[in-house]
Amino acid sequence: MTSKTERDPLSITAAEMRAVMAGPPEPAAELLRAGAHAGLPEAQALYGQILLDGRGVDTSPVEAFHWFRQAASSGHLMAINMVGRCYEKGWGVAADRDAATRCYQIAAEDGLDWGMYNYAGALGLGAGVPKDDAAALAWFQKAAALGHAKSINFVGSFFEEGRCVPQDMNKAAECYRDAAERGDFRGQFNHARMLAQAGQVRDALVWLAACNETCTPPFRARMKAQLEASPITELREAAARF
């Protein structure tokens, strides 16, 4: 029987590459490495992610950055976005926020939702580009229109705060619910917060538990602190479980 790695690497399809990512890590890494060395941009981008995560291979941010750049040179939008992430975070390369933001802008303007999200974040922070909340909102809205959960959550925050748009708590709640249902942990927390404020504490606890499952440790710490300060007994009790 011929193994996948004995095949001509150029015969590996993009659909096969994406499917193998859901399987055992070592075969996935082997297949994608072959495709990357054969010059396939999709394989190069996915192999870069595997190297960054240490999934089926030793973690190597330097090699990950190399493969992201290889794929980006062919115009692969997610790879361009990931080159930006490497520059932003200092993964395998010296941190350079200006370079990161340029990458995000390219990916955003070429239609990538993650590029739009990251470019919007840079605009909102004034990181590598002049601070511009209105432009940030516009890019978040463009990504949200593509179904990008994290961007939908941030659109909700603009409406809740009345920043660049008239305050609209119903619109904010709608955005948070949508982001939560799409799996964004920040959206899940904000949706839970709005439910609790509306007296739907039992439903809020369900979403808080979902948030706790996938959120980052720094976010969990902030969530716990907010819940501990809540006037609602059930939320304070939930904080102790987190």
Asked if pLDDT for residue 176 goes beyond 50, the answer is yes
**Average pLDDT of the residues of the chain:** 94
Whole-angstrom Cα distance, residue 179 to residue 147? 9
Residue 110, pLDDT > 80, answer yes
CA distance 75 to 218: 34
* CA separation for the pair 2, 7 (Å, rounded): 7
CA distance 148 to 153: 9
Q: How far is CA 47 from CA 59, 154, 161, 192, in A?
A: 11, 30, 40, 37
Contact 238, 208 (CB under 8 A): yes
Residue (of 182, 185, 124, 126) closest to 158 by Cα position = 124
Evaluate if residue 156 carries a pLDDT over 50: yes
Task: Look at residue 57 in the predicted model and tell me its pLDDT.
Answer: 96
Q: How far apart are CA 242 and CA 224, in angstroms?
A: 7
**Per-residue pLDDT tens over the stretch 218-234:** 999 999 999 999 999 99
- Give the separation between CA 113 and CA 92, rounded to whole angstroms: 24
- Under the banding of pLDDT at 50, 70 and 90, the label for residue 4 is very low
Classified as helix, coil or strand, 13 is coil
Please check the confidence at residue 80 and state whether its pLDDT lies above 90: yes
Rounded distance, CA 225 to CA 227, Å? 5
Distance between CA atoms of residues 41 and 67, nearest Å: 9
**What CA–CA distance (Å, rounded) separates 46 from 23?**
14
**Over pLDDT 70: what percentage of the chain?**
97
- Residue 3: is its pLDDT beyond 80? no
Predicted local confidence at residue 117, as pLDDT: 98
- pLDDT score of 6: 58
Each residue of 12-32: pLDDT tens digit? Answer: 788 888 888 888 999 999 999
Gyration radius (Cα) of the chain, Å: 20
User: How much is the average pLDDT of 122-151?
Assistant: 98
Instruction: State residue 100's pLDDT score.
Output: 98
